[in-house]
A and B are shown apart, each in its own frame.
Chain A
Amino acid sequence: MSTIKSLDELKKIRAQMKSATELREKGQEIEKLVQVKVSMGTCGIVAGARETLDGLMEEVTSRGIDNVVFTQTGCMGYCHSEPTVEITLPGQDPVVFGDVSGNRISEIVERYIVEGELVDGVIPVAYKTIHE
């Protein structure tokens, strides 16, 4: 790193570096965040889960939403509806969406994550993914 010559420069660097520890800081209050899990089993990846994950992240970033954390999970057992995405809004039960690709990505971010209203394509949750 080159020398920092003023408080303003230090502030700029801090802003750039924030992302370095952001995940950890968010993690301390995880129950207050939207948690998005993308199923990344073999079938999910074949069905385009990676693109879905990238798409969701891009959508969230471009809207300036900063209370979302992403993780990936193994196959959730809905191979027929891949790519599947599990979303947990703060204080609510997880909801699983199937066939998340194309414009469904922005639809889910807009309507469920931002507005909190359900959209079509919800798979009833009959299993437990969170192993405590």
Chain B
Amino acid sequence: MTDVKMHVLVCGGTGCMSSKSQEIIDNFRRCLEERRMDQEVKVIVSGCFGFCEKGPIVKIAPDNTFYVQVTPEDVEEIVEEHIVKGRKVPRLLYVDPKTSEHISDSKHMDFYKKQMRVALRNCGFIDPENIDEYIARDGYMALGTILETLTPAEVIDKVKSSGLRGRGGGGFPTGLKWEFASRYSSEQGKYVICNADEGDPGAFMDRSILEGDPHSIVEAMSICGYAIGADKGLVYIRAEYPLAVKRLRGAIESARSTGLLGKNILGSEFSFDIDIRYGAGAFVCGEETALIHSMEGERGEPTSKPPFPAEKGFWGKPSNVNNVETFANVPAIFLKGPDWFSSIGTEKSPGTKVFALAGKVNNVGLVEVPMGTTLREVIFDIGGGIRGGKRFKAVQTGGPSGGCLTEQDLDTPIDFDNLLAAGSMMGSGGMIVMDETDCMPAVAKFYLEFTVEESCGKCTPCRVGNKRLLEILEKITEGKGTPEDLKTLKDLSGVIKDTSLCGLGQTAPNPILSTLDKFWDEYVAHVEERRCPSGKCRKLISYRIDPDLCRGCTMCARKCPADAISGSIKEIHVIDQDRCVKCGACMDTCKFGAISKI
């Protein structure tokens, strides 16, 4: 038995690292050394715990204490109180917003109660830079057992029977994809490609998996290589993910030096190695054909399919492209069995899904739930409801290719097919919650700005059509739209969907179509009454002072940054609408409630 009696896990994910977790780590090491306890207490830098909103996170084992929003200055107290004297530090525990109680164990926090971690199983649990810790958690056991006991065809059968579907957006059955790739001859070479481009705004699940558990991707790619008969793997990752790149590179190197990558892995006939390719960070480069062109050093532009990458992929060779999260599920399927996997989730979408929960919810972060969990559970139970006691309005899923869902859809069990049927999609797992102050035409405009910016420009419907859609949305949100514009939005959207070359253009109008469908009244208010019901569109609102309520205190005039308010002491004040920049400062200042937004 070792002398180690306690583990201090400090989050080393990008989120926490940006709020000083490195300093926290250093302080722990120093404090423990000073007290000569560095042999008894081990400090571990882990991947993301998911609750980034409350980071930096420090977790202590074995008593499972979960400290939130820890600062470097708190370290001394944690060491002195918790580690030396065995007393928890209450002020650093999570406070349940509903009951105001301190909760010391993450298991009892609403954020974690309904989660189930399969793809994220090792994130926040192991040191991602230490291959031994991955091995301790049964790492490479799936690969080893497969090489010793299963034929490639049997591996594919098991993936098929698990029912795993691609987590990169389309939800295509992974086993079937592997089977296609396995059928093409490999004499000239064959590739396993991991898509780690993750271009959706707000999404960071793939990055977190690579940062927190990079070996699971190395292992899964090797399993795929064995199954389809490839000896080469490539990870396409954006250069803006430096920490993920560093951890992945480290994992590849340590796997290579222990013989888990390279020639004759674990004494078998199978040889496999992995390289990294860096992407420039364009959304369209996540589309698989564009991704392959980008890896070949060409422009990251899509080409039409077929031929699919399974037939003609990287350098024209058969290639299998899967998403990071898809791969992360693979070792778990072999460790626990395809039946275990298919028993989780819904019949047609087995397993779990990781979401990047963001927007107007109390608990922002990375959430993994069994498929079939409802939107309400994710937003209200795990997400802790809407921030600031406001009303829920909509949730946007599927990123720029997806759509908005409303109150009526909240009890929809989340899976690939249900979200499509409800008028949105799973996509890669971005989930942005909106409240009553969000304006839906403005939301649609936000996504269109993104797609117009990211279109590669190769085909006309996407390049010109989406630009037109954006112009119309700009008109509408500025109060210059007409009822005809609404019709144009709808018709043009249909044309773009039908005629664009790749998925970017084909899905770009989705945010418009779904908001038109579900928030028609809001569009009508903008074009017919020149009014923005949620009070978001600056050009459509104005601030007024009610002469009956104004006491002439001059507070608003003094606060106004644009000198738009005139009136002297004890006289009724007036806002000059031409000068007003609509900042709302006057309304917040007036103690008499005389100023309102209309």
Q: Which of A10, A28, A58, A71 has the most CB of B within 10 A?
A: A10
Are B267 and A19 neighbours in the complex by a CB distance under 8 Å? no
Please give, as numbers and ranges, the residues of chain A lying within 8 Å of B141 by CB-CB distance: 10-11, 14
Are B135 and A14 neighbours in the complex by a CB distance under 8 Å? yes
The verdict on A81 contacting chain B, using a C-beta distance below 8 Å, is no
Contact of B259 (CB < 8 Å), options: A4, A28, A61, A70: A4
The verdict on A126 contacting chain B, using a C-beta distance below 8 Å, is no
Please give, as numbers and ranges, the residues of chain A lying within 8 Å of B126 by CB-CB distance: 21
The verdict on B6 contacting chain A, using a C-beta distance below 8 Å, is yes
Asked, given contacts A7-B145, A26-B62, whether A73 binds B266 with beta carbons under 8 Å apart, the answer is no
Whose C-beta in chain A lies nearest to the C-beta of B87?
A131
Are B102 and A132 neighbours in the complex by a CB distance under 8 Å? yes
Contact of A71 (CB < 8 Å), options: B62, B102, B135, B258: B62
Please give, as numbers and ranges, the residues of chain A lying within 8 Å of B64 by CB-CB distance: 27-28, 30
The verdict on A121 contacting chain B, using a C-beta distance below 8 Å, is no
Are B148 and A7 neighbours in the complex by a CB distance under 8 Å? yes
Q: How many of chain B's residues have a CB under 8 angstroms from any CB in A? A: 43
The verdict on B260 contacting chain A, using a C-beta distance below 8 Å, is yes
The verdict on A118 contacting chain B, using a C-beta distance below 8 Å, is no
Asked, given contacts A17-B135, A21-B137, A71-B6, whether A131 binds B62 with beta carbons under 8 Å apart, the answer is no
Please give, as numbers and ranges, the residues of chain B lying within 8 Å of A2 by CB-CB distance: 258
The verdict on A3 contacting chain B, using a C-beta distance below 8 Å, is yes
Please give, as numbers and ranges, the residues of chain B lying within 8 Å of A132 by CB-CB distance: 88, 102, 104
Are B87 and A73 neighbours in the complex by a CB distance under 8 Å? yes
Are B135 and A10 neighbours in the complex by a CB distance under 8 Å? yes
The verdict on A40 contacting chain B, using a C-beta distance below 8 Å, is yes
Please give, as numbers and ranges, the residues of chain A lying within 8 Å of B6 by CB-CB distance: 23, 71
> 0/1 per residue, A13-55, Cβ < 8 Å to B?
1100111111110111010010101001000000000000000
Contact of B131 (CB < 8 Å), options: A1, A57, A70, A73: A1
Please give, as numbers and ranges, the residues of chain B lying within 8 Å of A74 by CB-CB distance: 84-87
Are A18 and B136 neighbours in the complex by a CB distance under 8 Å? yes
Are A10 and B140 neighbours in the complex by a CB distance under 8 Å? yes
Are B144 and A10 neighbours in the complex by a CB distance under 8 Å? yes
Asked, given contacts A28-B64, A30-B63, whether A71 binds B86 with beta carbons under 8 Å apart, the answer is yes
The verdict on B7 contacting chain A, using a C-beta distance below 8 Å, is yes
The verdict on A103 contacting chain B, using a C-beta distance below 8 Å, is no
Beyond A1-B258, A19-B2, A24-B125, 20 additional pairs, beta carbon < 8 A: A4-B259, A10-B135, A10-B144, A11-B141, A19-B136, A20-B136, A21-B126, A21-B136, A21-B137, A23-B6, A26-B62, A28-B107, A35-B63, A40-B84, A70-B5, A71-B86, A72-B5, A74-B86, A131-B90, A132-B104
20 contacts between A and B (CB under 8 A): A4-B258, A6-B267, A7-B266, A10-B140, A14-B141, A17-B135, A21-B136, A21-B137, A23-B5, A23-B61, A24-B7, A26-B61, A30-B62, A33-B62, A37-B86, A61-B1, A70-B5, A71-B5, A73-B87, A132-B88
